[in-house]
Structure 1
């Protein structure tokens, strides 16, 4: 009888092992991910889907691409970096801080001139030329945020940057820039399309992409993530259909 009971226990344990391997019950892990602030909402949705599908946790930290780069160089425990540009991932690659051949473009960003006021922006750059239409315009700091660089490029193309520099207020990142506009501390501002794509109020001008250099947002596996199953899984997940559908829903494009 004892032998039979032991045999049953062994069979039961074996069945559990099989079920675990089939259903992803393997030990869950976590990965720390540095995320450019324009990608906040999309990243949160992706992290939730990643958790549901793999059991792993993606611990997200948000900030401007430039400041996240500095944190990485200073030893922050990130396994993956989702930047808002190509420059910083390339630099990290050149400096030996990334896993070879892991860099790729996960999204192409778009900027929009946005106001909470319903009639301020008429779907064009016209408001920027109107002397008394606004007293403050918000942009992300172009020294650290690629979306700030794009905003300056647009204003320079339309010949208005030097005329309105005294009206510009700069956010540390695109999230703070959006807050300036949302709270109406600035009557309008250049923000990421992803931040307002689901907004039903206000007025906007989605800037034609030929008016600024492409914002190719690149991801890279950092050296700290090289041996982490969750980091490897997150990079693979980011390239998959579930993540790409989420990214597309926030107005981002793709290179392919």
Structure 2
């Protein structure tokens, strides 16, 4: 069930019509969500006049920055663990956590036909496989789960090149430093089918991506409005366009 929260006594439509100086919202966003976030930001600005300054990175790294005092007003994670932890540890506002997207991990290669990705991985006829750091990047953890499910962890480990986040993992693949790798569907949603193997959902734990209003943004109506925009029909349509599920 999709969780929502409402700004008490003030509808999003009203926020969009009240004449006020434009605000800039500081948002920490998981790297896999870069493309949709940028489109969401532009659309939100067109509707409200307020802008969103994004800081993209691995979820774990962003949370560390938040816990160390980074003035992020909203946090869009790639998991459902850290937004809840933010509330628990006093960095997030209780009652504002919701799932904005459910992500999908894929095996991507611009040069190898990965229509049957499992067979490609089992053949082990590649030099390097890119994976985001599983300690800080949920999509990297999902990629390692896929290898484990296929019984390939021990076989493939020596060939893995680890990206700081999912964006760097994609860079490794596109630069040729790795022939293939695990990335988010949203990053390659427009690529030919032969270049993208959509990993069966049962091969990795669901990637529920939660958002939370931080204590730094608690007093900013624009930050609250942006999170509400993500939950509205227009925001949800943009998110779905990039291959995510919305709850």
TM-score normalised per structure 2: 0.91
1:123 counterpart = 2:119: no
Q: How far apart, in 1, do the equivalents of 2:222 and 2:89 lie?
A: 24
Unaligned runs of 5+ in 2: 1-14
Quote how far apart the aligned CAs of 1:229 are: 1.6
Q: How far apart, in 1, do the equivalents of 2:26 and 2:47 lie?
A: 18
Give the secondary structure class of the aligned counterpart of 2:117.
coil
Q: How far apart, in 2, do the equivalents of 1:194 and 1:96 lie?
A: 31
Q: Of 162, 173, 189, which residue of structure 2 is paired with 1:170?
A: 162
What does 1:196-207 align with in structure 2 at a 5 Å threshold? Answer: 196-200=188-192, 203-207=195-199
The number of equivalent residue pairs is 234
Structure-2 residue corresponding to 1:90: 84
Give the secondary structure class of the aligned counterpart of 1:252.
coil
1:185 counterpart = 2:177: yes
Structure-2 residue corresponding to 1:60: 54
1:194 counterpart = 2:175: no
1:148 counterpart = 2:140: yes
* Structure 1 residue runs of 4 or more that deviate by more than 4 Å after TM superposition: 21-24
1:72 counterpart = 2:66: yes
Quote how far apart the aligned CAs of 1:24 are: 4.4
Report the aligned-residue RMSD.
1.6
Q: How far apart, in 2, do the equivalents of 1:172 and 1:148 lie?
A: 10
Structure-2 residue corresponding to 1:112: 106
2:239/2:246 contact within 8 Å kept:
no
Quote how far apart the aligned CAs of 1:122 are: 2.6
Given the superposition, is the C-alpha separation of residues 22 and 43 from structure 1 closer, same or farther in structure 2, using an over 3 Å criterion? closer
Q: How far apart, in 2, do the equivalents of 1:211 and 1:66 lie?
A: 22
Unaligned runs of 5+ in 1: 1-20
Q: How far apart, in 1, do the equivalents of 2:154 and 2:123 lie?
A: 14
Structure-2 residue corresponding to 1:39: 33
1:214 counterpart = 2:203: no
Q: Of 97, 103, 107, which residue of structure 2 is paired with 1:103?
A: 97
1:238 counterpart = 2:230: yes
1:83/1:89 contact within 8 Å kept:
yes
